[in-house]
A and B are shown apart, each in its own frame.
Chain A
Amino acid sequence: MADVKAAETAAPLDLLDERLRRGDGWRSVAGGLWRRVRSGDLGVLPIVLGLVVIWTVFQSLNSVFLSSANLVNLLMESASVGIIALGVVCVLLVGQIDLSVGSVSGLSAALTAVTFVSHGWPLPLSMAAALGAGALIGVVYAQMVTRLGVPSFVATLAGLLSFLGIQLWLLGDTGAINLPFESDLVHFAQLAFLPEWLSYVLVVVAAGWLFATGYGLARTRRAAGLSARSTSLLVARSAAVLLGLGFAVWYLNRARGVGWLFVSFVVLVLLLHYALTRTGWGRSVFAVGGNAEAARRAGINVRRVYTSVFVLCSTLAALGGMIAAARLAAANQATGAGDVNLNAIAAAVIGGTSLFGGRGSAFSALLGILVIQSISNGLTLLDLDSSFRFIITGLVLALAVTLDSVARRSRVAHGRAA
């Protein structure tokens, strides 16, 4: 009896309740994960499994698929739509949608090309102008949605058409403007790769940083009398990241290596992840997505949150369009057209960001675009045309949305947030 008492007074502040399943060992971590999955809080599990399946299938059909050269290519190709998907994640988080990201990216590509090539503006100015146009579009959407009460679905559908029209008009009769190969933008998007040593340094820095922040947090929490992750667990996590990333980078370095473009995309993902999970702005984004009226009553300026999110989304779409043009060394009528729009939205959803708002993460853009790009790349290797790509991407999207809905129902049944 006395032992029990002593154990209880020693327990951390947040684990005092007798109903809590307690433990700080590996088994409790594993058990906690398992309970979460069963209650419908699937996290990144389905998508990682999905990626494994997709990669296995394509590798068995064509052994080039998992070659270093092809994976380097796959990553470089995923950056532009991945960046657009990042913006879509934000809009979905507040429970809205932007159907025009494709057109906005195409418009931005055309704007950059026209000002830079045809009018001879300095490159940074052209890019700033295109990004500014993207931001402006976001402001207009936000005004329509928050002041006039137009559903974002309709406002952005109208934008989809209008901006496609402006893009075509800008490009003129020829319908395409080539970007010079020697420009910094094209060089960055096609030919800039990390030196091998730097890529390994980055891996070590990433793993070290992960450990340092985790350890720092655990120490603060313990000092404050709260429960914290054990150091061995933190070490194991960092070691896994070190080995995993290290192997990936080593494998990519067999071919051209890790592109600066892809690294930039990952940096954007990390920045957005930080903003969403560690800042007051991110908190308000989730709050507005969960219950906009409650957020308003808590004193959050809901209109400003919507505006920030629409602006971010359109600006990222503009950035993605610029990069798509740079990858191609040309802005043409097809930039941002076709499946770019749906791929960006599908990536966010496949990656685990809920269409119902209030649930998701920046990483879903990264994971989702990897799935979509893998399918597209694998089918191209098999010489199958876009009809198959559409069908299979569509099926994967249907699967992801179904999983989202089923998991949502399970979460409701298990008393987690819908």
Chain B
Amino acid sequence: MNDPVKEPAAAPGGRPILSLRGISKNFGAVAALTDVDLDVSPGEVVAVVGDNGAGKSTLVKVLAGVHRPDAGTLTFADREVTVASPADAHALGIATVFQDLALCENLNVIQNLFLGRELRRARLDEVTMEIRSWELLRQLSAKIPTVRVPVASLSGGQRQTVAIARTLLGDPRVIVLDEPTAALGVAQTAEVLNLIERLRERGLGVIMISHNMEDVRAVADRVVVLRLGRNNGVFAAEAPSEEIVAAMIGASDNVVSRRAGRARSVKGEA
């Protein structure tokens, strides 16, 4: 397989590979997304942050073809596109790690990795698929002892790794990760952040949803804030956390800043 890590780096910046304009999505009376804009360029990591229920996962599902937006346009590689199904998203080269991972528990690791894009569908090439699976997992430094067990028997972190590894198959141009480090331990989190950086070097566009400001600051080039389903500011990764948190929660005097203030005053006394 073509190693996602060792390919020449594309120039970052430039024109966006993917842009969203005015995306809206309603679930009955709930407006999950209202008039949302988002751009990601090749070789760029865009973090999307927001409080619980801000609409981050809904945005991911719109990109992945799981939900169709009620309004708005999607432009991919300078072409306006409709992503009507997950197959459309795959065909364009948008690969997604969902927050709930979307793995089949009854299938083993290899079967999950290659789900929907098996090699030689009339007579499955299990050996090649197994070898590629090992290569892929090795790249992610995954600690998975055997790939021939059902995914049900893996830990949360191992499953997350499988879900991430799956996006690297095929030849994606944009990778969307919905809370990719939520279930991971310290070492695995670092591993995933490294991976995200390598994807950027390779010239892919990366959209990372996260709760964790530390992770965001570590890898993101830009931070897009969603609040109650609307854009609420774009920040450089170097912007102070307090500002970003304020945009997420909607006030400068909020529960997070009060806690931070208390912690500072405690430190000051000590």
Interface residues of A (CB under 8 A from B): 13-15, 17, 19-20, 217, 220-221, 224-226, 278-281, 283-284, 286-287, 289-291, 293-301, 358-359, 411-412, 414-418
Contact = CB atoms under 8 A, between A and B. Distances in A.
A283 B118 contact: yes
Given A14-B147, A291-B103, A279 B122 contact: yes
A300 B116 contact: yes
A291 B86 contact: no
Interface stretch (B21-29, B149-157, B209-217): B149-157
Contacts of A291: 102-106
Contact of B148 (A14, A220, A300, A415): A14
A286 B107 CA distance: 8
A299 B118 CA distance: 12
A280 B152 contact: no
A225 B130 CA distance: 11
A290 B104 contact: yes
A230 to B, nearest CB: 17
B60 to A, nearest CB: 11
B148 A297 contact: no
Interface in B91-131: 96, 98, 102-107, 111, 115-118, 121-124, 127-128, 130-131
24 contacts: A13-B131, A15-B146, A17-B143, A20-B146, A224-B127, A226-B131, A279-B124, A280-B118, A280-B124, A281-B121, A286-B106, A287-B115, A290-B104, A294-B103, A294-B104, A296-B66, A297-B64, A297-B66, A297-B98, A299-B89, A300-B115, A300-B116, A416-B153, A417-B152
Nearest to A225: B131
A290 B106 contact: yes
Nearest to B117: A299
Contacts of A217: 127
Nearest to A293: B102
Contact of B106 (A19, A221, A281, A358): A358
B11 interface: no
A301 B121 CA distance: 14
B90 interface: yes
A418 B152 contact: yes
Contacts of A418: 105-106, 152
A297 B123 contact: no
B139 to A, nearest CB: 14
A417 B98 CA distance: 20
B82 to A, nearest CB: 16
A19 B146 CA distance: 9
A17 B149 CA distance: 14
Which 8 A-B pairs give the minimum distances between C-beta atoms? A280-B121, A415-B153, A290-B106, A17-B145, A417-B150, A298-B116, A417-B106, A290-B104
B127 A226 contact: yes
B108 to A, nearest CB: 9
Contacts of B122: 279-280
A290 B107 contact: yes
B31 interface: no
A17 B138 CA distance: 11
B134 interface: yes
B87 interface: yes
Given A14-B146, A20-B146, 19 more contacts: A14-B148, A17-B144, A225-B131, A226-B127, A279-B122, A281-B121, A286-B107, A287-B104, A291-B103, A291-B105, A294-B115, A295-B115, A297-B66, A299-B86, A300-B116, A358-B106, A411-B152, A417-B107, A418-B152
A218 to B, nearest CB: 10
